[in-house]
Structure 1
Amino acid sequence: MSDRFMIYGATGYTGKLVARTAKMQGLNPLLAGRNEARLKSIAAQHGFEYQAISLDEPEALDAGLSQVDTVLHIAGPFSQTSKPMVDACIRTGTHYLDITGEIDVFEACAARDEEAKKAGVMLMPGVGFDVVPSDCLAAHMKARMPDARELTLGISGLSNMSHGTAKTGVESIGKGTRIRRDGKIVSAKKTPRREIDFGHGAKASIAVGWGDVSTAWHSTKIPDITVYFESNPQFEQMAKMGRATRWLMSRGFMQRALKKRIEQQPEGPSDAERAEGYAILYGEAVGPNGERVQSRLTTPEGYTLTAMTGLEIVRRVLAGEAKPGYQTPSAVFGPDFIAEFEGCSYQDLNS
């Protein structure tokens, strides 16, 4: 096998950003996806090779992956696209990376740990803003309090969503707010709320079913985990939905209507918006006797960070740092991995 990698899903908002960043960094990926015309256009802009491959064509997918060591899978929603790509990676011995934030995708990959180990393949979903910074923060909190029983993660400063991210959110409507209790993922009967100080005073925050409900447990084994976003009108609307409304919104005809509306919105934040944006993450670990440690993590805007972390993990995997089986970013690269990126820094609020 070569030391090349594939970007699958190079024609979407994030895929185009990652391809552009790869060119700036002197990397030479093989671009892939379903739409040949769009692939050809993007590949021509950067001087990259491309192949039009559908995920429902196993032989073509295997042939494409046989040319590379690693795939950075960016084509969502990952609830639909992850399994066929993971299947192909295990068949071909290709390391699998993606940028999902979907709990079910993380859990599905984790369930294939032994299968991946036997194939000598690393499965590391979540190598972008979902979930590198929050996963590293979770591991940082575990290091600060090794016997922690509760972990709270908070996220503030998310920018405008890409079409793919928004569609993933639409797909999760029917699942309610998922949290982890006693080591198990459960749906909260009532959406948890609290105030979190992201550095500018206490802000109302709402629990969400973010990927760390899965990954933070695999990284830390802390049994109770809740993830919050700083509140905004959209999150408030979601939190107030009753079971009947969630059921209705999860029906096929409503899902199609909502996704069609998303397609009419801007593709994602502009370069200027990304340059001005940033995120602040909050971590809190509580020990068995109620003792508490708190930290903050500042990062660049989410899509910008996704391109940075995703490509750096590709580099490290190609350099031989992959660990076969299901892995989380902090488990392989450590809690300080995120602090190596420009614009990222920890602040411990108490010692």
Structure 2
Amino acid sequence: EAAARGMRPTLAGRDANKLRPLADELQLPLQAFALDDAAGVAAKLEGCALALNCAGPFSQTAGPMIEACLMSRTHYLDITGEIDVIEGAAAQNEAAAAAGVVLLPAVGFDVAPTDCLAALLAAKAPSATHLELAFNTPLETSPGTTKSIVETIPRGGRVRRGGKLVRVPHAWRAKEIPFADATRWAATVPWGDVASAYYSTGIGDIEVYLGIPKKQIASLRWLRWIAPLVGVGFLQRLWKNHITRTVRGPSAAQRRKTKAQLWGRVTDGSNTLAEATIETPNAYTLTVQAAVAAVERVLATPPAAGFQTPSRAFGADFVLQFPDVTLHWRHGEANC
């Protein structure tokens, strides 16, 4: 997509052999390096205005890349949906601002569209104290996303209360969510918006829900009992190796036929102040669209240096520019 828009990115990763076919097909430069030496990575980034990290799990790649980007004064973007990665970037705000570097994690489906939805809702209801977000993506996850989920299981769920991150059991709360296309059951998950939406809206109480069939919610709650076991190092390695061998993600045909559904609501703790839904293309297509658009915008007109979220960097309507994205207000104003 970036090459189709006239950009000439350098493809980078640990294994040149895996990258070479794509680099040859698109006639793009290629670099191969590991992330175990931040100074070495910084040297590789010299002369690069921006780095887009697409290598998950981001718990393993974001920290070294951010450190290297601060050294080389390279803007950093990624497509994470991991709470700790977003919080880690936020913790580097002062260092990034001093270096003139933009740190903008989560510019893919996780969390650009929900972050924009949160900001739109907050703008309609400045007095809101509670934010609920939900999403439904019926497609199989990619290997990197699946590994990220495996890493989060031992940590349990998380929500935000009074501005603080709070640990809760898996599937702590469950309820029916009125998405644009159908009402579905959903349960709380430790998703990136628990981190990012706080910085975008200032709302202190945040919960994020994932659409899950009601029968599967009970199964998800069993994770409460096996979570400590899943955290054992060698079991994590075995599970991730199995994911590498078996998980391929959805096909192009599956992606074309699928849409993602988002829902959000802000309240004052008891009364609904604003509520809306957004329908988007499938999560993979939207990730490509949003990430490439974010790269273009940062290169053309960088937002303020330091930590940013998608809606803070580009405005709450950022996600509405993409094809087949529809916003429906249930409280607020006309649909678009």
Q: Does TM-score exceed 0.5, indicating one fold?
A: yes
C-alpha distance 274-200 of structure 1, shift in aligned 2 (>3 A): closer
Q: Paired residue for 1:4?
A: none
- Residues 239-277 of structure 1, C-alpha deviations (whole Å, 9 max, x = no match): 33234x110011112212221221232421111111111
| Ranges of 4+ aligned residues in structure 1 off by more than 4 Å | 233-236
Residue 196 (structure 2) pairs with residue 215 (structure 1): yes
**TM-score scaled to structure 2, two decimals?**
0.94
Q: Paired residue for 1:293?
A: 274
Q: Paired residue for 2:255?
A: 274
C-alpha distance 28-265 of structure 1, shift in aligned 2 (>3 A): same
Counterpart mapping for 1:3-42 below 5 A: 21-42=1-22
Match for residue 104 of structure 1 among 54, 61, 84: 84
Match for residue 207 of structure 2 among 216, 221, 226: 226
Q: Paired residue for 1:338?
A: 319
Q: Paired residue for 2:97?
A: 117
Separation in 2, partners of 1:23, 1:200: 34
Residue 69 (structure 2) pairs with residue 65 (structure 1): no
Q: Could you tell me how far 1:236 is from its partner in structure 2?
A: 4.7
Separation in 2, partners of 1:98, 1:277: 24
Separation in 1, partners of 2:322, 2:153: 33
SS of the equivalent of 2:165 reads strand
Match for residue 138 of structure 1 among 106, 110, 118: 118
SS of the equivalent of 2:246 reads coil
- Residues 180-236 of structure 1, C-alpha deviations (whole Å, 9 max, x = no match): 111111012471111101134431111000000000001001111000011146665
Counterpart mapping for 1:239-318 below 5 A: 239-243=221-225, 245-287=226-268, 290-318=271-299
**TM-score scaled to structure 1, two decimals?**
0.90
Q: Paired residue for 2:178?
A: 197
Match for residue 165 of structure 2 among 152, 176, 185: 185
Q: Paired residue for 2:309?
A: 328
% identical equivalent positions: 40
Q: Paired residue for 2:219?
A: 237
Q: What RMSD over aligned residues (CA atoms) do the two structures have, in Å?
A: 1.5
Match for residue 43 of structure 1 among 10, 13, 23: 23
Consecutive unaligned residues in structure 2, runs of 5 or more:
none
SS of the equivalent of 2:108 reads coil
**AA aligned opposite 1:290:** N
Separation in 2, partners of 1:59, 1:112: 17
CA contact (8 A) 2:20 2:30 kept: yes
SS of the equivalent of 1:148 reads coil
Consecutive unaligned residues in structure 1, runs of 5 or more:
1-20
- Residues 65-92 of structure 1, C-alpha deviations (whole Å, 9 max, x = no match): 1121000011111111111100110011
SS of the equivalent of 1:89 reads helix
SS of the equivalent of 2:301 reads helix
**AA aligned opposite 1:319:** A
Separation in 2, partners of 1:212, 1:175: 16
SS of the equivalent of 2:3 reads helix
Q: Paired residue for 1:176?
A: 156
Separation in 2, partners of 1:279, 1:248: 32
Match for residue 154 of structure 1 among 134, 159, 171: 134
How many aligned positions are there? 330
Q: Paired residue for 1:163?
A: 143
Q: Paired residue for 1:15?
A: none
